[in-house]
Structure 1
Amino acid sequence: MKCPFCGYGESRVIDSRPTDDGERIRRRRECIRCQKRFTTHEIIESLPLIVIKKDKSRQTFDRNKLINGMMRACEKRPVPLQVLESAADSIEMTLQNSLDREVTSEKIGELVMEKLKDIDEVAYVRFASVYRQFTDINTFMEEVTKLLNSKKSSNQQQKL
């Protein structure tokens, strides 16, 4: 940290305290050359997550869009909002932890379907029908058949 008084590049930390509910750290420093003290504030740098849409346009990740999409899929289903918010938290954490600053909308859609499959099967099929753009009843039935087969295999594994 450069001294604001003499411009020297080294200082030592005298005191550190969290501020703003732990979002920032206030540090009291002392210049090694001139011994003058100054204060710095450190914050966590959060880089925006960019979503690459199907048409190759880019926009910042919007958690509200994620929750709204899941709410539409869960409409008239017994799924509490808190469960959807928890799923959105998990999806957002997965995306942030991937260290990729750009993610495709397809990747987000797959993560949503993965979560909805565990939350509510009807909501999963609803979301999949829009997300995968089912064009006829056969593609719809294929997805339902996959869901039933995965459910059967997981039930058989639980019995063992």
Structure 2
Amino acid sequence: MKFISKSYEETINIAKDFAKNLEDGSLVTLDGDLGAGKTAFTSGLVSVLSPKTTVTSPTFTIVNEYHGGKIPVFHFDVYRLTSMDDLYDIGWNDYVNRRGIIIMEWASVVKDEIDCPYIEINIARKPEMGENVREINIDYRGENK
């Protein structure tokens, strides 16, 4: 699926609509250049899944947990990791096996080693279409998707 967002607010709304279809156990990967809108998209997702939560980028903590909804949301930023081993070191298997939804920014760092189905979201700036325009591509990867 491809969407064109012309503003921060549209990016949030696309994410909100997408979030309504997520199920417990979903893994959502987000990639795009710095400032492309990964955290904005995550904010839209979390506003539906965990409405009493303020999203902050987990760049330095690697993972933030949001427990303000029916199921927990685990928000990863793996930009600073160098391999899947780093992710295992912070408890990746525990998160995958828990009830909840995982959102992973900068997933390209470890995506080749993810061994479960996931939803891949790529966000790209489209300056030729306008300063705030983003193209958001959503693809399902793995079995049963």
Q: Write 1 or 2 for the structure with the bigger share of strand.
A: 2
Higher relative contact order (CA 8 A, sep 6+): 2
The TM-score, its normalising length taken from structure 1, stands at 0.22
